[in-house]
Structure 1
Amino acid sequence: MRKRLWAAALAAVAVFCISDLRAQGLTPEQMKAATASTNEQSIIQNREATKNWPSYGLDFQETRHSKLKSINAENVGKLGLSWSTSLESRRGVEATPIVINGVMYVTASWSVVHALDARTGKELWRYDPQVPKDYGYKGCCDVVNRGVAVHEGKVYVGAYDGFLHAIDAATGKMLWKVDTIENRAMSYTITGAPRVYKNAVLIGNGGAEFGVRGYITAYNVADGKQKWRWYSVPGDPSKPFEDKSMEAAAKTWDPAGKWWLAGGGGTMWDSMAYDPELDIMYVGTGNGSPWNRDLRSPAGGDNLYLGSVVALKPETGEYVCHHQQTPGDNWDYTSTQHVLLADLTINGQPRKVWLHAPKNGFFYVIDRTNCQFISATPFVETTWAKEYDEKGRPIENPGARAKDKPWETIPSAYGAHNWHPMSFNPDTGLVYLPAQGIPLVQQPVQQWQYNEHRPGSAMSNLGWNLGFLFNTVDPTMKPYGHLSAWDPVAKKEVWRANYVSPWNGGTLTTAGNLVFQGTADGRFIAYNAKTGEPLWQTPVGSGVVAAPSTWELDGEQYVSVAVGWGGVYGQMQRATETAGPGRVYTFKLDGKGTMPPLVQRAPAELVKGVAYKPEDVAPGLGLYVSNCLFCHGVPGVNNGGNIPNLGFTKAEVLKNSPELLLNGAFVEGGMPTFKGKLTEAQVTQIVAFIQGTADAVRPK
C-alpha cells in the first residue's frame, strides 16, 4: 500500500512538472532532446559555426569568440531587450549562461541552478543544492558560482560547500552528488565551473587563504566515481609521494616551514582549457598557504606548482609540463585566471600557444605543446618585477620581498586581472582583457602560527592564514579599471576603454567585429573590436562581473549576460547607486522588451547615538580587522558592496550586536555565528570601533 501511494505521489509530481513546463513552452522531452547529444564531439563541431554556447568558455580552447555576425558593428545600435529574468539573488552572480538548442542554464549565488526557456526567459526548473548558510564564511570571495557543464542530458554544478552535483537536464532532478573535499576540517569551497573532458567531470577547489592543499579531480560522468586526482603541491614529505611530479615539487620547498600543516595552497579554483588534438588539458594553480613564503618555506625555493599553468593528460591526470609564472609566490599572485588557447604566427613561425594574464600583471605567451616560454610582458604597472629573462623567470625588484617593513604591492592581491574572463578574436588578433588596479600594502607578520586568532591580522578569527598585515600605511596607488585590447604577438596594448572603477565584467568577442563587456557602474557595452569605439550601451541595474554569451535560435542571434554585483571586491565596494537583484538580460536586434525598473539604494546615513567607551576603540579595531574587514569594509569609509558597511547600519543593530552575533541571528544571510569565537566584551569593543570611526569620519 505504501509503495502504491509513493508511486502515485511521484506520478502526480511528474504530471505537475510536465504540465508546468508545457505551459511555458518546453517539455522535459524537448529539453532532453535539446541536451542529450551535447558531448565532446558536439562541442568540437559547434566551433565551426558557434550557434550554441555549450561550455563555459564557448569552446574547449576557451576563446569566447563567436562566429555569429548577424549582430555586428554596423547594426549593434539597434539592440533591444528580448527578455529578462530575475535570479532572486542579492549576492554575486559570476556565471556565463550556457545555451543549447533553446535551453539556457545559469547559476546564481549559493550555487543555485536555473534552467530557462531561451526564447522567453521563463524558468523551467530550479535546482538548489541547499548549501548551508553557515558555510558562507569558509570562502574568501563571496558565495558565488561561475556556471555549469552540460554533457549528454546531465547538468553538473560544483556547489559552494564542496559537493559536485549531477542533475537531469530535462527535469532538474538530482542524479548523484559526490563530496570533493578530502579533509572537512579545512575550509575548502567550490566557486568555479566544471568542465567535461574524456567522459570525466573536472573540478578544483578554493581555500588557499584559509590553509588547504590544492588539487583537481576527475569524476566519471555517469556515476560520480573518482577517476583521478592531481595535487598542485606536495604533501607531508615523510609520507610517500603521489607521483613523480610531487617528488620533483618537494625539492622546491623547505620542510622547516612544515607547509603541509597549512596545506601549502595552490588551489585550482577556476581556469581550465583543453586541446583535443594534443589531448592535453591546462589548469591554472593558485597562491601559497600561507601567503608569506618566509613562513611556509623559510629557506626560499620556487614552491612548485604554485602560481603556474600545468598541462595534464585528461584521461589519467598524468603531469605533462608546466610554466611557473610567479616562483615562490609571496603576494597572492594566483595563476587561476582565464587560460585560452590560440594558434599564432610568431617570428614567422606558426606556434600553438596558451595565452594568460594572471594576477601578477604580465601577459604570457607559452608554447602549449611543451610549456616552452615565449614571452611575458607587463600589461599594467608592476613593481614586484620589471621583466622576465630568456628562461622565463621574473627579474624581481629587490624590495618586493621586504621582510620587516610595509610594501605596496603593484599589482595587489586583488590582481591586475582577476577571474573575469578575457576573450580572443582571431580576426583582429587581439585579446580583450579586463585590467585593473586596487591599492594594498602588505607587511610581514613576524610571529605567526597556523589557525591563530591574532587581532589586527585580517580575518584570522575566521580561519584565514595569510602571514601579512595590510594597509599599516596608506597606499599611494589609486584604484582603476579598464578594458585593454592586447596584441599578444606585438606584445602591446592597441586600445583601451577606461572605467570609473575596478572589478568590471568578463568579455565576449564576435565575428561581427564586436566586443561586449559589463561594467562595475552598471552598464552593458558593445565596442568596435578593431578600434575600441563604443557603439551601444544600456543600464542593467547593478554592477556586472560575469562574462556574456551569444547564441543563435531559429536563425536569430541573441546576446545574454547574467548580472549581480559581488565577489571579493564587490562585497565591500560598489560603483552604482542601484541595487537590482541578480538577473539575466537577453538582447536581440529590434528587441521590444521592457527593461525592469532600476532599484535605487536607500540613502546611507552614518550610524550615531550608540554609547561606547573611548578606551574600547583601539582593541575594537584589532578585533574588527580579524573578524569583519574583508566582508564589511572600513566603517563609514568604504561605501559597502553587496554586504552592508557597518558604519551605515542602524543604531539598534549595533546596540544589540552582542546578542545578535553570538546567537547567529544573521546566519541565513551567510554571516557566521561568533559564539565561541568572540566574547560579549569583545563584541562591545568592535561596536566601539564602528561607532567611533563613524563619528570620526562624519565631519569629513
Structure 2
Amino acid sequence: MRGVAFSPKHGWWLGAAALLALAGCAATMEEPSASGGADAGPAMVDGQRMRQLDAPANVGDWMSTGRGWDEKHYSPLDQINDSNVGRLGLAWYDDLDTFRGVQATPLVVDGVLYNESIYNVVTAYDAKTGRKLWTHDPQVGTEWARLACCGPSSRGIAAWKGKLYIGALDGRLIALDAKTGQEVWTTRTFDAEKAPYSITGAPRVYDGKVVIGNGGADYGSRGFVAAFDAETGEKVWKFYIVPTDPAKGPDGEASDSAMKIARPTWHGKFWEAGGGGNAWDSFAYDPDLNLVYIGTGNGSPHMWHFRSEGKGDNLFLCSIVAVDADSGEYKWHYQMVPEEDWDYTCTQPMILADLELGGKQRPVIMQAPKNGFFYVIDRATGELLSAESYVSVNTWASHIDMKTGRPVLRPGAHNTTTPHLMSPSWLAAHTWHPMAYSPDTGLVYLGAQEQGAIYARAADGEYQYRPGPGRTNSGQAYGNHPELRAKLQKQANETEKGYLLAWDPKTQKEAWRVPYPHPGSGGVLATGGNLLVQGTINKTVAIYRADNGEKLWEMDVDQAAIAGPITYMVDGEQYIALNAGWGGSPVYNLGPFQTSTAKLLVFKLDASGVTLPPPPEPTALPRPPRLMAGEQQVALGRRLYGETCHKCHGDNAVGGVKDLRFMAPETHEAFLDIVLNGTLADKGMAGFADILSKEQAEAIHAYLIARGNEDWQDAAVSAQ
C-alpha cells in the first residue's frame, strides 16, 4: 500500500489514515469505516460530501451516477494517466450471466462497489478484490421487459445516508440498507393499471429527496417526475410534463402553474393517448440555485398530426424544465423540439459547468439530444446562449434561430403519408449513453452517430390509440410504399456511421473525433490523468488522450460496453470499472452480433493473473427456411412487426438485441411459443398472446422469413 497519493495538478492528497479507513471498508462489511467518519457506516453519502467531491476523504469515491450532481462524469484522479496507462490490466471481474444489455453506471462509496444488472438486481462488492458482500433481487416480473423499449435494463442506483435506491422496472422505488442489502421501504411511483409506465433511468438523491421519472411515451402515457423523502419514501412533490383533459381541472400537483403555460400549445383530444413527454433518464441539480433540471421525452403518439391535430408546440415535450428542488414548482423551460413529430427526446445526459462566454463567466447547462444540436443554456434563467449541429447530416433543421430559440425546419421535415428518410432519427445523433466534461481540456465528449430512419404517418382513419403493454402507439405507417422504403433503407444503411466526438462548447466546434466502423459505442469517462475511457462497438474497452484523441490502450473484452465507466481509489490504488453488456438501439450494418455474457470489469495498473474466459466459437449464419407465405400475409407481418417489434429488433428487421432475420432452425420451430407463450421470458422476451393472435404471430414470422431470404446471401458473405 502506498502511504500517500498526491497530485500537484489538483492539489488533493490522501494520507495514510484515510487510506487505512478505505482499506477497512474493503476488507469487511461488518465494520465498515466511511471516509466521512469512523462510525458512519457504508454508503453514508450526504449533502456535505456531495458538495465536497474533491476533498481528500471523498475524491476516491463515485457517489452518484454522474459522480457529482453536475453530471460531469469526470474525476480528478490521475494515478492512471497518459504516461502509464499502457500498464493497465484486469484486476477482477464478475460474470453477470446475461446476454441482455447492461447499462448501469456503478457506484463506489468507502471501498464498496455497488452495481445493478438486468431486472434491477443489485450486488455489493469489495471494490478492491471483487468479493461479493450481498445481492438483492427485487423480483421484477419478466413481463415488464415488454414495456421497456430496449430491454429490462437500468442505468444505475443512488446512495444516501446508508441507503441505496432502486428505480425498479415495475415502478417501485426501493430503499435498501447498504450494509445488508435488505429492503428498508418501498414506494409505488405509478399506477400500472392506468398507463404503461416503466422505469429504466437511474434515481438521483438531491439533499434528501429521491428524484425519479419514467418511460412509456411509446406505448401511451402522460409523463411525470416525482420526488420522495429519502428516509421514509413519502412523496414530496410531483411534476407532470404535459397537460391532460382540461375538463378534469387542476391536478393538485406542483406542475399546476406550468400546465397553464402548456395547455394552450395542445389541440384536439391529445389526452387520450397520454401526450408523452416521459423523463426516462436525464436529471441534474444545482444546489446553489436549488434547481432540479428535467430532460423530457417524445410525444405520445409520435405523430404530431394525430397527437395534436398537427398544431401547437406541445409543451413540455423535448425540453429542459427547471423546477424548485424543494417544492417542484416550475421555474423556467427551454424547448428544443417544438411540434415534436420524430420520436426525438431530450432525455439525453445534461452537464452543468461554468464557462467563460463573451468575456463573462456563465453558469450553463449543456446537452446534446437526439436532434443533432449541441445546446448551451444559462442554467439560472433558461436563456439559450448557443446551439450548433454536432453531426454532419441534419435533415430535420438547418439551424437554430438565436432570436427566437426555435429550430428552422428543413422543407419536408414534418411527416406525411409518403415515406421519407430523417437523420437524425429516433435512433438518435446521441442517445442515453453518458457524456463527460473535462475542466482540464474544456471539452465535452460523447458518442455521436448518424443513422437515418424511415418515417411516414398512417393515413387518416388508420391510426387508433390502443392501450395496453407492448403496443407501440406511434401513429406511423410501417408497410406502405415497400419499393420506396427499400430504396430509403438502402440509403440509410450506406450512410450509417458512429464516432467518439470531442466538442468545444465555447466555440461550438468539433475538436477531434475517433471514427468507428458502426454506431453503438458506449458512455465515456474523463479523468485528471488526461484520459478518456469508452467501451466500443469493436467489443473492446479503449482509452484515449483527452486533449487530442490519441489511442493509448485497448483491450478486447468480447462485448460492446455501452454503460458509463467510473474510476475510484482504494488503498492508494486507482481503479477503472464499467459494465460490458451489449444492448439497446439497433445498428444497421452490424448484422448478427455474437458476444460473450455481460460482465462487470475492473482495471488497475500492473494487474496480472486475471483473464477473461475465451469467447464462444462463432457459429455459421443459419439459412432461413423457404418462404411459403403469400404477399398479403407478409405485408400484414411487416405492419405488425413495425407496431410491436421494431423498437427491440430494429427497423426493417435489421440489427437490434436479436437479429430475427437469421434465427436458428429450432428458433423458427419454436417461434409461436416464444412470441405468444413467453417461453424465453427469462431472457427478456415476454409473451404477447394478450395483444397478438396466432394468425398475427404467423404473419410476423412470415415477414421475418421473407426478410431473411432477402438478406441472407450478402450477410453470409460478410460474416465470413
Q: Normalization by structure 2: what TM-score?
A: 0.88
CA distance in 1, matches of 2:590, 2:51: 39
CA distance in 1, matches of 2:25, 2:570: 20
- 2:441 matched to which residue of 1? 428
- 2:682 matched to which residue of 1? 668
The range that moved more, 27-36 or 186-195, is 27-36
- 1:10 matched to which residue of 2? none
CA distance in 2, matches of 1:575, 1:687: 19
- 1:133 matched to which residue of 2? 142
- 1:385 matched to which residue of 2? 397
Q: Deviations over 1:199-228 (max 9, x none)?
A: 111100001111111100011111211111
- 2:13 matched to which residue of 1? none
- 2:649 matched to which residue of 1? 632
Residue 93 of structure 1 pairs with residue 102 of structure 2: yes
Summarize the alignment of residues 205-354 of structure 1 with structure 2, pairs less than 5 Å apart. 205-242=214-251, 243-254=256-267, 256=268, 258-354=269-365
Residue 178 of structure 1 pairs with residue 187 of structure 2: yes
CA distance in 1, matches of 2:471, 2:521: 29
- 1:122 matched to which residue of 2? 131
Q: Deviations over 1:205-259 (max 9, x none)?
A: 00111111110001111121111100111111112224111111101111x2x11
Letter of the 1:138 partner, please give it. Answer: L
The answer to whether the Cα contact below 8 Å between 2:101 and 2:582 also exists between their aligned partners in 1 is yes
CA distance in 2, matches of 1:281, 1:593: 45
CA distance in 2, matches of 1:580, 1:483: 24
Q: CA deviation at 1:323?
A: 0.8
Task: Give the counterpart of 2:535 among 506, 518, 539.
Answer: 518
- Shift in CA distance, 288/520, structure 1 to aligned 2, threshold 3 Å: same
The answer to whether the Cα contact below 8 Å between 1:523 and 1:543 also exists between their aligned partners in 2 is yes
Summarize the alignment of residues 215-614 of structure 1 with structure 2, pairs less than 5 Å apart. 215-242=224-251, 243-254=256-267, 256=268, 258-380=269-391, 381-390=393-402, 391-447=404-460, 448-452=462-466, 462-470=470-478, 473=485, 474-475=488-489, 476-477=491-492, 478-569=495-586, 574=590, 578-600=594-616, 602-609=618-625, 612-614=628-630
CA distance in 1, matches of 2:286, 2:690: 50
The answer to whether the Cα contact below 8 Å between 1:525 and 1:537 also exists between their aligned partners in 2 is yes
- Shift in CA distance, 575/148, structure 1 to aligned 2, threshold 3 Å: farther
Q: Deviations over 1:340-376 (max 9, x none)?
A: 1000000101100001100100000100111011000
CA distance in 2, matches of 1:27, 1:559: 22
Q: Deviations over 1:390-416 (max 9, x none)?
A: 231111113101423222111011110
CA distance in 1, matches of 2:606, 2:434: 28
Letter of the 1:162 partner, please give it. Answer: G
Secondary structure of residue in 1 paired with 2:322: strand
Task: Give the counterpart of 2:702 among 670, 688, 691.
Answer: 688
Letter of the 1:589 partner, please give it. Answer: L
The answer to whether the Cα contact below 8 Å between 1:144 and 1:567 also exists between their aligned partners in 2 is no
CA distance in 1, matches of 2:185, 2:561: 32
Unaligned runs of 5+ in 1: 1-21, 454-459
CA distance in 2, matches of 1:649, 1:178: 41
The answer to whether the Cα contact below 8 Å between 1:24 and 1:124 also exists between their aligned partners in 2 is no
The answer to whether the Cα contact below 8 Å between 1:461 and 1:626 also exists between their aligned partners in 2 is no
Unaligned runs of 5+ in 2: 1-23, 35-39, 715-720
CA distance in 2, matches of 1:612, 1:34: 65
Secondary structure of residue in 2 paired with 1:238: helix
- 2:81 matched to which residue of 1? 72
Q: Deviations over 1:10-65 (max 9, x none)?
A: xxxxxxxxxxxx99942243278453531121111123463210000000111111
- 2:37 matched to which residue of 1? none
CA distance in 2, matches of 1:186, 1:99: 35
The answer to whether the Cα contact below 8 Å between 2:89 and 2:608 also exists between their aligned partners in 1 is yes
Secondary structure of residue in 2 paired with 1:71: coil
- Shift in CA distance, 488/614, structure 1 to aligned 2, threshold 3 Å: same
Letter of the 2:42 partner, please give it. Answer: T
- Shift in CA distance, 593/54, structure 1 to aligned 2, threshold 3 Å: farther
The answer to whether the Cα contact below 8 Å between 1:90 and 1:642 also exists between their aligned partners in 2 is no
- 1:27 matched to which residue of 2? 29
Q: Deviations over 1:473-529 (max 9, x none)?
A: 224242211111100001100110011111211111111111111112211111111
Q: Normalization by structure 1: what TM-score?
A: 0.91
- The total of aligned residue pairs comes to 667
Residue 44 of structure 1 pairs with residue 32 of structure 2: no
Secondary structure of residue in 2 paired with 1:595: coil
- 2:11 matched to which residue of 1? none
The answer to whether the Cα contact below 8 Å between 1:578 and 1:601 also exists between their aligned partners in 2 is no
Secondary structure of residue in 2 paired with 1:569: coil
The answer to whether the Cα contact below 8 Å between 1:574 and 1:641 also exists between their aligned partners in 2 is no
CA distance in 1, matches of 2:573, 2:280: 35
The range that moved more, 605-614 or 157-166, is 605-614
- 1:457 matched to which residue of 2? none
CA distance in 1, matches of 2:591, 2:105: 22
Q: Deviations over 1:645-682 (max 9, x none)?
A: 33332334424434554333233332232324333333
- Shift in CA distance, 231/536, structure 1 to aligned 2, threshold 3 Å: same
CA distance in 1, matches of 2:469, 2:140: 22
Task: Give the counterpart of 2:212 among 174, 182, 203.
Answer: 203
CA distance in 2, matches of 1:444, 1:642: 26
CA distance in 2, matches of 1:541, 1:267: 34
Letter of the 2:308 partner, please give it. Answer: S
- Shift in CA distance, 624/118, structure 1 to aligned 2, threshold 3 Å: same
Secondary structure of residue in 2 paired with 1:399: coil
The answer to whether the Cα contact below 8 Å between 2:566 and 2:578 also exists between their aligned partners in 1 is yes
The answer to whether the Cα contact below 8 Å between 1:610 and 1:655 also exists between their aligned partners in 2 is no
Letter of the 2:560 partner, please give it. Answer: G
Q: Deviations over 1:274-301 (max 9, x none)?
A: 1111111111000111111111111511
Task: Give the counterpart of 1:621 among 638, 655, 674.
Answer: 638
The answer to whether the Cα contact below 8 Å between 2:586 and 2:657 also exists between their aligned partners in 1 is no
Summarize the alignment of residues 124-163 of structure 1 with structure 2, pairs less than 5 Å apart. 124-163=133-172
- Shift in CA distance, 184/629, structure 1 to aligned 2, threshold 3 Å: same
Letter of the 2:48 partner, please give it. Answer: Q
CA distance in 1, matches of 2:586, 2:621: 22
Letter of the 2:211 partner, please give it. Answer: L
Q: Percent same amino acid at aligned positions?
A: 40
The answer to whether the Cα contact below 8 Å between 1:521 and 1:575 also exists between their aligned partners in 2 is no
The answer to whether the Cα contact below 8 Å between 1:606 and 1:694 also exists between their aligned partners in 2 is no
- 2:113 matched to which residue of 1? 104
- Shift in CA distance, 681/329, structure 1 to aligned 2, threshold 3 Å: closer
- Shift in CA distance, 214/618, structure 1 to aligned 2, threshold 3 Å: closer
RMSD between aligned residues: 2.3
